[in-house]
Amino acid sequence: MNSTQRLILITSLWISMISLLTYAQDIERVDASGGDDPLVRKVEQRVEMLRKWRILEELDPDEALADALFPLLSQFSRREHELAEHRGELMRELVFAVREHHADVRRCEEILDALHMNEKERCRLMEEKEEELSALLNVEQHARLVVVLEEFNQEVRELIHQARRRPDPSVRRP
C-alpha cells in the first residue's frame, strides 16, 4: 500500500468513525428493534467496514491473504454474534424466572444448563478461530491482528459509551 492510499484510507477511517459516533447516538434502538432497524444494520455495516480497514492498514496483506482472511473473520464474527444473541435471550429468561414471586427451580436449572452449554460453545468457537488464524497467519501477523481488533473493539465501546452519555437532541430542556 503506497503512502497516498494509506492517507486516503486513514482519512476515510476518521470520517467514518465520526459518522459512526453520530449513528451511535441511536444505539438504544438495538434493544427495542430486535435488530430489525435499518439504522442499526447501517451502523453494523459501517463498523464492519471500519474493522476491515483497520485490519488492512495494520497487516497490509497481499490479495491472497485478504481473500482468505476476511471471509474467515466474517464467518466467526457471525457465529460469535449468534451465540451472544442466544446468551442474551437466555439471560432475559433467567431474569424473568428469578424475578417471579415463586421462581420455578426446574426452569432456572434448565436455563443455567443452557447458559453453560452456550459458554462451552463460545469457548470451542474461540479455540477453532485461533487454530484457523494460526494456520493462515504467521506469528507476527496473528499478534498484530489480535492487537488491532482489541484496540478497535475498545474504540467502538468508548464511542457507544460517549453516545449514550450525550443528551438526546430531540428532547427539549427548559
Q: How confident is the model at residue 17 (pLDDT cuts 50, 70, 90)?
A: low
DSSP the chain: --HHHHHHHHHHHHHHHHHHHHHHTTTTHHHHHTT--HHHHHHHHHHHHHHHHHHHHHH---HHHHHHHHHHHHHHHHHHHHHHHHHHHHHHHHHHHHHSTT--HHHHHHHHHHHHHHHHHHHHHHHHHHHHHHHHS-HHHHHHHHHHHHHHHHHHHHHHHHHHHSPPTTS---
Per-residue pLDDT at 172 exceeds 70: no
User: How far, in whole angstroms, is CA 169 from its chain's centroid?
Assistant: 26
User: How far, in whole angstroms, is CA 52 from its chain's centroid?
Assistant: 12
The residue among 29 and 59 whose pLDDT is bigger is: 59
Per-residue pLDDT at 31 exceeds 50: no
Q: Which three cell numbers stand for residue 56?
A: 488492512
Task: Give the range among 42-56, 64-78, 84-98 with minimum mean pLDDT.
Answer: 42-56
User: What is the value of pTM for the model shown?
Assistant: 0.69
The predicted pLDDT at position 165 comes to 79
Q: Which three cell numbers stand for residue 67?
A: 481473500
The predicted pLDDT at position 43 comes to 78
Q: How confident is the model at residue 16 (pLDDT cuts 50, 70, 90)?
A: low
What is the C-alpha end-to-end distance of the chain, expressed in Å? Answer: 53
